[in-house]
Amino acid sequence: MAVKKADRNLDINTEAKILEAARTIFHKKGYAATRTRDIAEEAGINLALLNYYFRSKEKLFDIIMLETMEGFFQSLSVVFNDTSTSLEKKVEVVTESYIDLLLAQPDIPIFLLNELRTHPSEIGEKFKMKQIIMHSVFFKQWQEATKNNKNQIPPLQFMISLMSLIMFPFVACPIIKMVGDLKQEQFNKMMVERKKLIPKWIKAIMKS
Amino acid sequence: MAVKKADRNLDINTEAKILEAARTIFHKKGYAATRTRDIAEEAGINLALLNYYFRSKEKLFDIIMLETMEGFFQSLSVVFNDTSTSLEKKVEVVTESYIDLLLAQPDIPIFLLNELRTHPSEIGEKFKMKQIIMHSVFFKQWQEATKNNKNQIPPLQFMISLMSLIMFPFVACPIIKMVGDLKQEQFNKMMVERKKLIPKWIKAIMKS
DNA sequence: GTCTATAACGTGATAGAC
DNA sequence: GTCTATCACGTTATAGAC
């Protein structure tokens, strides 16, 4: 018997509803600008229930922050440590998968960067990002590929540049839309084009 | 007659002291996380005095937001519209001047980007950034220089990439310091090295 | 588990003396 | 102009009925 659902959340439990709402609001507005009332309303439940499940705004935020960082760095770790693909292929895959990820969730980068800066938390420190990135297969391949260049680019500089080209446009989205006079749809189309451009540019940089 | 000064602000007027304090705190924490009490304390004055001079937190913020945007885009506008320099020189100058600017005030980019995203204000709209950038001498020179390339890079894509390479490292500073295990001093040194790397990379990209 | 009502607290803003 | 004291309000968190 089909049941009409005004809200697709009706079939999941309350805890999950609150988590999904918290994710949405925190990502969009950041910790300080978020009110627990907004989250409760977004979840379609009462404010008291939020504290019943998660004790406090801070504890709820920590959960969202942790899962967001995990989700964000997991893709990177998987691609970077694939021993079966070439360096060039890795650049293509990481570009494409991150642009797809950010087209779906464009608020993630600035959320993470802003909270890491303004909202002191030990969660950031737990991540062994140094291990994930600086000791990855990707890095060894990159050093191998460039070891005969006359001016070898420092690995960290290269890594930062790749991530800059992929992520910064999403961070600067409001300004880019103003400068280029773009609607959201046109912005997204431009980011899809970037999937092809970035690997090409990276090749050019590596040969320089 | 020399006067001892525990605080270099003692010799400037109260309004200027409040503005300087507001700039510091807003840039560091953003609008929502800033309390007017913090600004008053930083300025070494009483909370009531802040409202006496600026009426409200919002009005004070608008002043800081406006001057910050002006300062940030002014450099760009000047460099981009210099008719006496070549395209390559412009890339060098804009890279160097912006990296110097951000070494002195590293919080500016993420402050601007985060506030433009989360804090609806009409100030952002006042800036004719489209005029400044898309109709600049820089852009005309760039189109001229690349018109014979087989795959001409769209101007906006190019512009975004240049700005990404310069600004994103400052936005991602906390993560970069974690990944690379760097102290602030080492991070700054790396950014100084980037002044030479970025123009070289941009040349490589233009030839691709 | 879920709600209503309210306590407890923090923050922006003002009144009024000096 | 500058301060102390306080108001007014919004927000987090809890008590207690159901």
Q: Which letter, b or e, does each residue of B114-141 get, where b requires 16 or more Cβ atoms within 10 Å of its Cβ?
A: bbbbbbeeebbeebebeebbeebbbbeb
Which position has the higher pLDDT, B45 or A9?
B45
A51 touches strand D (CB under 7 A): yes
Cβ of A119 near strand D (distance < 7 A): no
Q: For the domain with range A64-207, which CATH number is right: 1.10.357, 1.10.10, 3.30.70, 2.30.110?
A: 1.10.357
CATH 1.10.10.60 residue ranges of chain B are 7-55
* Residue range(s) of every CATH 1.10.10.60 domain in chain A: 1-55
C chain positions with any atom within 7 Å of a protein CB:
1-5, 10-16
Q: Which of B32, B174, B176 sits opposite A160 (nearest CB)?
A: B176
Euclidean distance between CA atoms B21 and B29, whole angstroms? 12
Mean pLDDT of A69-97: 94
Strand C close to A14 by CB, under 7 A: yes
A152 or A68, which is more confident: A68
- Distance C7 C1' – A49 CA (angstroms): 17
| For residue B103, pLDDT beyond 70 | yes
pLDDT band at A6 (very low <50, low <70, confident <90, very high): very low
| Of the options 1.20.120.50, 3.30.572.10, 3.30.420.10, 1.10.10.60, the CATH number for the domain spanning B7-55 | 1.10.10.60
B63-207 domain in CATH 1.20.140?
no
Q: What is the pTM of this model?
A: 0.94
Chain B residue numbers with beta carbons less than 8 Å from the beta carbon of A31 are 33
The whole-angstrom separation of Cα B50 and Cα B17 is 10
Q: Which residue spans of chain B are classified as CATH 1.10.357?
A: 63-207
Mean pLDDT of A23-27: 98
Q: Give the pLDDT confidence score for residue B1 in this predicted structure.
A: 38
Interchain CB contacts (distance < 8 Å): A and B: 155
CATH number belonging to domain A1-55:
1.10.10.60
Take residue A83 and report the two structure tokens written for it.
């021993």
Contact A127, A69 (CB under 8 A): yes
- Token match 């070289």: residue? B200
